[in-house]
Structure 1
Amino acid sequence: MKFQIFLLFLAFIEFSKTDFPYVDRECGQDLTNLWLDVVAVVDNSIGMRDEGLDSVAANLASVFSAGTRIGTSPTEPRTTRLGLVTYNSRAQQNADLNKFQSLDDLYEGVFGDLHRVSTSYDSLLSFGLQAAENLFNAENLYTSRSHFQKVIIVYASSYRGTGEQDPLPVANRLKTSGVRIITVAYDQGGDGTLLRQLSQVASSGFNFSSAENEGNIIGQVQGALLESNCFCPNDWIQYRQFYSDTNSYRYGVCFQPVTLTAVWKAAKMSCANRWNNSYLVNEFNLSKHNFILDIVNATVGFHQPFSYHIGGNKVGGVWKWDRPAGWDQPELKKWYDWEDGYPIAASTLNAMLNQQTGQGLEAKWENIDMLKTAANYVCETASCDTDNYCSSDGRLDE
């Protein structure tokens, strides 16, 4: 029995060695390494009621209780700051982004400020969002955290406001600037109306309800925070399930198309210098191949018929994908996209490019001389997320 278990273990190790490198990277999922700037915007109008406000306090505190480092640290940049704004007929800043420097601070402040509703029946979310926007603007300029992703978590008991009090203009302005908005409908009526109304305020997929959450509001909000913490550096494009749908599932992979032509070997070195652990793009499957082709088609400086270097190269007689120095290079397998008649058996044709075929948007692999054929190229790297901290100078922490 022990011998059988040992054989299974060896088989698992061998499977891991051969299959793991051929899977595109997922976004980091480590809440202990969450690094964000967050403002909670909480409705404390009479309609929320004291017990509702207390429930919101408990929910908000629980979201950050999975080991997330609160505040700032001179030795650990992967921390999350939390500010707090309450709103009714007006908005009040209860805590700036630097007040809470520990989870205990957060608990004390959140439960201290969210224990009793105001004397106002009005619930004007627009004022709360504006206060959060002002807080971000005041405390993120010229700081070492200016590159951190920004998130607003809204807890609302009702949705009101038209004209100047309409929350949609400020919500859209925030989202356009890159701020993610999570909404939690504290739906005491339970008919789903509030959830539908707040869906216009929330970022896509970030609209949740106390009445329709299957008991998992905390997990849903944490998942939205992790997703918000997965992003690409400036001038890089994040790989997602569908190129045409910017809200589709995102991978922990980033691409950068380069429009100045180079031979394959120079393109490889150029990609390696663009980011820590970056390399010529790997095409593991048809979906990724097509996504990259869509990027190329949309990039000014690439011209039809498209021709661009990718990371395939022949090493010791075996076709492999480019990877950073010191990393294992995965062999081509499972899916191939060679043009008819390729690869050509020649000792000097040891690199790969995509060449557009015919009149449609289709490209096939061709093998070339890595020192003679000049073309555009596409680079690849890991996203910035809880597994990869990006410093303020735009580099992944090694």
Structure 2
Amino acid sequence: MKIVEMKLHTILLTLLGVFTCSADYSPLSYVDRPCGTDLSNLWLDVIAVVDNSRGMTNKGLSYVASSILSVFGENTRIGSNAFEPRTTRLGLVTYNSVATQKADLNQYQSIEDAHNGIFGALSTTADTTESYLFTGLELAEKMFNDQSFNSTRAYYKRVVIVYASEYNRYAPFDARPIAERLKLTDVHIITVAYEQPGSVGLLNGLSQIASPGFSFSSEYGAGNIVEEVQNALLQSNCFCPRDWIQYRGSYSDPASIRYGVCLQPVNVPKVWAAAKIECTHRWNDSHLATEFNQAKHEFILSAAQGGYLGFKQPYQYHIGLNFVNGAWVWDQPAGQPPVNLQSWSNWQTGFPSSPSSQSGVSNIQSGVTTKWNNVGTFTTPASYICETYSCDTDNYCDSRYMKTK
């Protein structure tokens, strides 16, 4: 359902004439920026962890090899390039009763290298029925520790893609502790269950290993698996700087679709005009937040209600709506024109009032929610919400991200 939602969202944006390009995105159709979708610009460190026990079968391994290569495609930049940081390093681990490193993160330096290496490494199964995923995850963890965390790519997102035909959840073979440890170090885990006759509980078991929303099954067909894994990689490559919150479909559901938008509640009371200036210094292209729709409004309110950096009732915080040249408009990044207020509004009863003297807008608590009140831009100190673009395939973030960790 979430993949369908993402596709429909992308189609809608296309029909409406919205597209993203680097950091020049402008919400021409009054929607929030989506995460980048250019697979050729992926910049990740990825390790494929593949079950090569007899349960996978030679046919299954061939399918996995094709699937991995189809996920990345001929236009993805595999390897490292000193002149182009938007590259993806791809490592390969096989496992059965033990795990084996087939390719470290620096071995494949082109999609052709990956093609030859992966098909060669996944040509035949091992002569054992034992399949212990924890061995594969342990080796992937070691590879990240040795080749990624302490490298010049330390700020790149890391992903493990697991292809498994069996899952043993009983101690001492349970892979969940290692999976949780990886996720705590911000490694995303995608799992693909290669269903076999007689498989019981494989998909359910792997869903406990995967990051939220990243557990898939091969029974739906290779084409769907490729698209699902691609979307999971694009979502993994869509992230925010430290101390910024990724805007997503639901604040309470980490598996909901992410947007290419980051939010930062700031609990330092300032008048609206000062908050506007302060937001521009928080990150590249940052500005006071927009609330194009009720979902965005509720997401921001949920962040405040979660006690983010000391926000307390009664809630009051500035947003980017303000009155300029006879119209209510939303604040935008420096150099971009403001966006006129359109379909949805959230004014408190009796507001807006006298915009000539009260041209800024704050969310002020009214009952269990907050409502828009226009306020003086130099007279009403309050907390405020900043917004910026996410780091993704359309908006590369350099090592300054690493410095904020």
Is the CA contact 1:124–1:161 (under 8 Å) kept in the aligned structure 2? Answer: no
Secondary structure, aligned partner of 2:162:
strand
User: What is the deviation of 1:191?
Assistant: 5.5
Letter in 2 for 1:274: R
Deviations 1:280-325 (A, max 9, x none): 0011111111111111122132232111111011111211010112
Is the CA contact 2:74–2:111 (under 8 Å) kept in the aligned structure 1? Answer: no
Residues 66-75 or 31-40, more deviating: 66-75
Q: Distance in 1 between matches of 2:313 and 2:230?
A: 44
Q: 1:47 to 1:19 in 2, by over 3 A?
A: closer
Tell me what 1:87 maps to.
95
User: What is the deviation of 1:21?
Assistant: 4.5
Q: Distance in 1 between matches of 2:208 and 2:48?
A: 18
Tell me what 1:71 maps to.
79
Q: 2:195 aligns with which of 179, 187, 212?
A: 187
Deviations 1:89-114 (A, max 9, x none): 11111111111110111111111111
Q: 2:375 aligns with which of 356, 360, 368?
A: 368
TM-score w.r.t. the length of structure 2 is 0.89
Letter in 2 for 1:381: T
Is the CA contact 2:212–2:254 (under 8 Å) kept in the aligned structure 1? Answer: no
Sequence identity of aligned pairs in percent?
A: 52
Q: Distance in 1 between matches of 2:297 and 2:341?
A: 14
Q: Distance in 2 between matches of 1:283 and 1:36?
A: 31
Residues 126-135 or 199-208, more deviating: 199-208
Residues 297-306 or 86-95, more deviating: 297-306
Letter in 1 for 2:384: Y
Q: Distance in 1 between matches of 2:273 and 2:63?
A: 59
Is the CA contact 2:169–2:205 (under 8 Å) kept in the aligned structure 1? Answer: no
Q: 1:102 to 1:214 in 2, by over 3 A?
A: closer
User: What is the deviation of 1:367?
Assistant: 1.3
Is the CA contact 2:166–2:199 (under 8 Å) kept in the aligned structure 1? Answer: no
Q: Distance in 2 between matches of 1:192 and 1:386?
A: 38
Q: Check if 1:278 corresponds to 2:286.
A: yes
Letter in 2 for 1:202: A
Tell me what 1:327 maps to.
336
Letter in 1 for 2:176: L
Tell me what 1:207 maps to.
215
Q: 2:310 aligns with which of 295, 301, 322?
A: 301
Tell me what 1:266 maps to.
274
Q: Distance in 2 between matches of 1:375 and 1:305?
A: 11
Q: 2:398 aligns with which of 380, 391, 398?
A: 391
TM-score w.r.t. the length of structure 1 is 0.91
Q: Distance in 1 between matches of 2:222 and 2:177?
A: 31
Q: Distance in 1 between matches of 2:331 and 2:169?
A: 54
Q: Distance in 2 between matches of 1:215 and 1:324?
A: 39
Is the CA contact 2:355–2:374 (under 8 Å) kept in the aligned structure 1? Answer: no
User: What is the deviation of 1:24?
Assistant: 0.8
Q: Check if 1:232 corresponds to 2:240.
A: yes
Q: 1:341 to 1:174 in 2, by over 3 A?
A: same
Is the CA contact 1:37–1:148 (under 8 Å) kept in the aligned structure 2? Answer: yes
Q: 1:190 to 1:203 in 2, by over 3 A?
A: farther
Tell me what 1:50 maps to.
58
Letter in 2 for 1:38: V
> For structure 1, which runs of at least 5 residues remain unmatched after alignment?
1-11
Letter in 2 for 1:380: E
Q: Distance in 2 between matches of 1:120 and 1:218?
A: 28
Q: Distance in 2 between matches of 1:242 and 1:345?
A: 35
Q: Distance in 1 between matches of 2:247 and 2:83?
A: 31
Is the CA contact 1:190–1:211 (under 8 Å) kept in the aligned structure 2? Answer: no
Q: How does 1:247-258 map to 2 (within 5 A)?
A: 247-258=255-266
Q: Distance in 1 between matches of 2:226 and 2:254?
A: 25
User: What is the deviation of 1:347?
Assistant: 2.3
Tell me what 1:241 maps to.
249
Residues 113-122 or 34-43, more deviating: 113-122
User: What is the deviation of 1:263?
Assistant: 1.2
Q: Distance in 1 between matches of 2:218 and 2:373?
A: 54
Q: Distance in 1 between matches of 2:356 and 2:126?
A: 78
Secondary structure, aligned partner of 2:400:
coil
User: What is the deviation of 1:126?
Assistant: 0.4
Q: 1:169 aligns with which of 171, 174, 177?
A: 177
Residues 346-355 or 260-269, more deviating: 346-355
Q: Distance in 2 between matches of 1:21 and 1:264?
A: 26
Tell me what 2:162 maps to.
154
Tell me what 1:59 maps to.
67
Q: Distance in 2 between matches of 1:305 and 1:159?
A: 49
Deviations 1:222-247 (A, max 9, x none): 11111111111110011112222222
> For structure 2, which runs of at least 5 residues remain unmatched after alignment?
1-15, 18-25
Q: How does 1:337-352 map to 2 (within 5 A)?
A: 337-352=346-361
Q: 1:379 aligns with which of 380, 386, 396?
A: 386
**What's the Cα RMSD here?**
1.9
User: What is the deviation of 1:192?
Assistant: 6.3
User: What is the deviation of 1:346?
Assistant: 4.9
Q: Which of the pair has more CA radius of gyration?
A: 1
Q: Check if 1:353 corresponds to 2:362.
A: yes
Q: Segments of 4+ in structure 1 off by > 4 A?
A: none
Is the CA contact 2:248–2:257 (under 8 Å) kept in the aligned structure 1? Answer: yes
Secondary structure, aligned partner of 1:356:
strand
